[in-house]
Amino acid sequence: MNSRVRRWWGWLLFAAAYVFAVYWVFTRSTPLGGQREVTIRFAHWQIELGPPEGLDAVIKRYEELNPRVRVKQIKVPSAVYIQWMRTNFAGDSAPDLVEYGSWLPGLADLPVRYFEPLTNELLEPNPYNRGTPLEGVPWLKTFADELLDQRMYSPEPGQYYAVTLTRGSYRLFTNRKLYQGITGSTEPPKDFAALRRVFEQTADYARRRDRPLFPFAGSNDNAIWLMGFYMNGVMSKYSLGLDRTGILSLNSRQVLWDY
């Protein structure tokens, strides 16, 4: 291939790249024209299967009720979420709403520095409950725990900076056939002592069959939540001694301070 042909191929590739870039700007990035009057951007790290699709359905319905508003969700991998948040707030390019957890390290200052509290709004009825049994009920009272976690861990006492998107519960699922093969029964353990016997039976079963086998399987979060639940019970006998304020309750900060 002579130099003239190579030069033409170079110009052709350059033109193709330029056309693709123009297409991307006008179709994939923030629209330059025809945009709705109001755009709301929110970021979260729940990019696993399910939550983004559910939020898309909520966005679609919200935009139907509010034709002036366009809502865009920004999905950020959890591994870089903290750095992403800190960088965007420092660069004044953060979205309007963000998923926030009081347990996230290095972000405790963000709510009071960059956000307005929701306290007054929470004391008013939720207009979207009109026509339901919760009509006229203050928004705060429509949460099962009245946002206890948000109140306990608020960066500013007496103020709410976040609301709960979902609530969950613990579930343990059993491979019944395997469980019966290990224990000889399908009856679940009644207490922790019985559960420890299942652990011993599982180890013995794995050893005899020369195969890796564990009594529990799950994610890192599963382990933290399960052990937290277990340790709360183990440590309950110390609560009366540590509860110097007499409120019959301790949060994590109080326990750490006493430690």
The CA distances from residue 89 to 74, 84, 200, in Å, are 15, 9, 51
Q: Is 60 exposed, middle or buried (CB count within 10 Å of its CB: 0-12, 13-18, 19+)?
A: exposed
Q: What is the CATH number of domain 37-99?
A: 3.40.190.10
What integer pLDDT is reported at residue 33 of this predicted model? 41
Q: What is the pLDDT along the chain (259 residues), one digit of tens a residue?
A: 566 767 777 788 888 888 877 777 666 555 444 467 899 999 999 998 889 999 999 999 999 999 999 999 999 998 899 999 999 999 999 999 999 887 788 888 888 889 999 999 999 999 999 999 999 999 999 998 899 888 888 888 889 999 988 777 778 899 999 999 999 999 999 988 999 999 999 999 999 999 999 998 888 878 888 887 777 777 777 777 777 777 666 766 677 777 7
> Nearest Cα to 39, choosing from 69, 5, 62, 14?
69
What pTM was computed for the model?
Answer: 0.62
What integer pLDDT is reported at residue 2 of this predicted model? 62
Residues 92, 113 contacting (CB under 8 angstroms): no
Taking the domains of the chain in order of start, what are their residue ranges?
1-35, 37-99, 178-217, 219-259
